[in-house]
Amino acid sequence: MNFIEERIVKDGIIKSGNVLKVDSFLNHQMDINLMEEIGREFKRRFSDVCVSKVMTIEASGIGIAAFVAKEFGVPLVFAKKSKSINVDGEMFVAEVESFTHKNKNQVIVSKKFLHEGEHILIIDDFLANGCALQGLISIAESAGAKVEGCGIVIEKGFQIGGRVIRNMGYRVESLAIIDAMDAEAGTIDFRAQD
Ligand code: 5GP
């Protein structure tokens, strides 16, 4: 098991509805040493690509993506959730359905912070059905930026997102891929990775 898998087994809580809670170390209370290790690991995995900006979506991606951006020495921009339908022309906009809250949000990034020709690394905490990633990819591409890859801390491999995004031709690197989890038994099966 790698360091993320070990931590999930130690501190993750499996909830009904295919939800894994990792709020004691990843997305509510944050273990900063773990964040640093995550940043270093994504730097290692994406060391072959040119990255000019890291991109994520609020709120839970921000802390993780900050450590990745620090490793690459580039800025981080995050998509903001906006309820308003009247976003002005200065924003790139995408619609994203939230897996955890089951509602739809418009997410926006100011045109000031995303430009044609940029090389984007997208980072998020979870990959489930892939809506968040699809929204971020669509925003990056409408700016004329190139998505170099997507770095995910925990991919739920039994949901469709990973397959959808990889089939679209994007590189997805997930630190842990869960193939199955059982809330009653409290068991988690990880996919073997090299
Ligand atoms: P997707 O858009 O791929 O369906 O879901 C990804 C987003 O939903 C992530 O940004 C994450 O915040 C949230 N999410 C999806 N599955 C889980 C989960 O099992 N646990 C937690 N804590 N968040 C999740």
Instruction: Give the number of the atom of ligand 1 that is nearest the alpha carbon of residue 135.
Output: 2
Ligand 1 within 6 A of 67 CB? no
d(CA 6, CA 78): 28
CA nearest neighbour of 142 among 102, 186, 108, 193: 108
Going from the Cα of 133 to the center of ligand 1, the distance in angstroms, rounded, reads 10
The pLDDT, as a whole number, for residue 87 is 66
d(CA 105, CA 26): 23
Ligand 1 within 6 A of 108 CB? no
The pTM assigned to this predicted structure is: 0.97
The pLDDT, as a whole number, for residue 85 is 64
- pLDDT tens by residue, 17-57: 999 999 999 999 999 999 999 999 999 999 999 999 999 99
- Over 90: is that where the pLDDT of 146 sits? yes
The pLDDT, as a whole number, for residue 101 is 81
Ligand 1 within 6 A of 118 CB? no
Ligand 1 within 6 A of 130 CB? yes
- pLDDT tens by residue, 81-112: 986 666 667 999 999 998 888 888 899 999 99
